[in-house]
Structure 1
Amino acid sequence: MKFSAVAVFGFIPTIFAASLPNDLEKRAGGAYRSCEGPSFVQSGNAIIQQMTCGDGRGGKKISWINLSECIANRGGELVWQKNGNFGSTCYLDDGTNTGPRWNTDLYIWCPNGKGQVVSAAINLDERLVNRNGRLFCEV
């Protein structure tokens, strides 16, 4: 029985790809393991989160991210979406929306499309990533 190199090497990537996890979301997030002191501010449509993050070399950097670039308001529920612009419809409360370091949720007020404004929350640690002291969202 003869095998061609193309057939064998073409088959290996298929096996490798099949062994990868189907839910790549599990790889994203985790910024709160190396960042601390979350604070939030709203400026127009931008909802900014600032934290002090480890830079991977023993130092720390102050980093911020516009969460409106990666979160959307869908009927009063916050969802991860590139350029979601939730800051155009939702607003921060009186400052009780941040908790201690273990609290990775953002609480905010959003219209639900039914004439009501409801409290909405999202776990920011699901998609926020610290890369060398800079915050990014993986959406």
Structure 2
Amino acid sequence: MVNTLDQANQEIKKATVLEVATLDKMNFPSLVVLTPLPIHRSVKSILFYTSEQSTTFKNLLNSSSAAVISFNEDAHSSVMLKGTLSAVAGAQDQQELQASLNAFQRELHYTKPVVLRFNTMSVKLRHHNRVDYQKLGQISQISN
């Protein structure tokens, strides 16, 4: 039997891109594909590199509610995370964060770069035609 949180954690850790949904001023969803930073990444929390001028960052002024979606076509599985998104204060001064940027992220040359942290409240996993749902209190049970 597959442990929902362990399976979701594996999927999130190996994903090269994730879809991030935020809410705009009119509470309509806004969806973007972002490359997650490899450090401190788990089903509990994910870091993203973007710009203060991005729609994703601007939507945070309206609402911190967000969702992250990952799809693995080979395994016919998907992970949906519901939670909050916030800016990481002082991220530009943190050497570990800067060193973790991939070549594509470094080439973006944002004038106002920002690191966003997604914190998970609940997880929905579809794996082999089975759907499992877990809330935050149970997320602490996963192995990192």
Q: TM-score range by the shorter chain?
A: 0.3 to 0.5
With the length of structure 2 as denominator, give the TM-score of the two structures. 0.33
